[in-house]
Amino acid sequence: MSDTNRQATFRGYGRSLPMALLRARDTVMNRFRPILRSHDVTEQQFRILRALTTAKELRAVDVSKMTLLSPPSLSRTIKGLEGRKLITRRIEKEDQRAFMLSITKKGAALVALIGQQSEAEYLDIEGRIGSKKMDQLHRLLSEVEEKI
């Protein structure tokens, strides 16, 4: 549909920010999905594992926020990761409602391995886009998060 004959109230398909972000993410993830898959790790599981590499321990609620996984999803996904000995959990003494999650050595090794394999893809992506534009994109995305 042309830009001139569409309804005035209708924002063209190409100008929908959520769709643009979704398509871009899908495009990028196409590069990484085979890697994750080869290690039998889902996107969501990897988000959790990677979040846990940023600290010795993290409260479940904070992991939920970092990974954008809802508490129920996190709760269920954690079970599998625990079963595979990729993470551990313990109850926080100060607040007995809270769980503290940590990544195990095995989990950290897996994240490191996947990270290594992903790095080649990242470098290729940066090569295609250019590091300057890449920085620009990251800055703009941060701005969206902060200002909206």
Chain residues in the site for DNA (CB under 7 A): 33, 37, 42, 44-45, 59-61, 64, 69-78, 80, 94-99
Q: Which does 120 bind (CB under 5 to 8 A by kind): DNA, a second copy, none?
A: none
Tokens encoding 105: 């050595």
Tokens of 130: 């250019």
Q: Which is nearer to DNA, 91 or 144 (CB)?
A: 91
Q: Is 19 helix (H, G, I), strand (E, B) or coil?
A: helix
Which of these, 40, 56, 28, lies nearest to 110 by C-alpha position? Answer: 40
Q: How far is the CB of 55 from DNA (least distance, A)?
A: 14
* Residue 130 contacts residue 136 (beta carbons within 8 Å): no
Provide the binding-site residues for a second copy, judged by CB under 8 A.
1, 6-7, 9-11, 13-32, 47, 50-51, 53-55, 66, 68, 111-112, 115-116, 118-119, 122, 125, 128-129, 133-134, 136-138, 140-145, 147-148
Nearer residue to DNA within complex by CB, 57 or 126: 57
Q: How, if at all, do strands 58-59 and 87-91 pair?
A: unpaired
Closest CB to DNA among residues 2, 96:
96
We find the least distance from the C-beta atom of residue 73 to DNA, in angstroms, to be 3
Do 48 and 63 touch, CB atoms closer than 8 A?
yes
The whole-angstrom separation of Cα 128 and Cα 134 is: 10
Q: Which of 81, 53, 51 is nearest to 68 (CA)?
A: 51
As measured in angstroms, the least distance from the Cβ of 137 to DNA is: 23
Instruction: Work out what residue 122 binds among DNA, a second copy, none; the CB cut-off runs from 5 to 8 Å by kind.
Output: a second copy
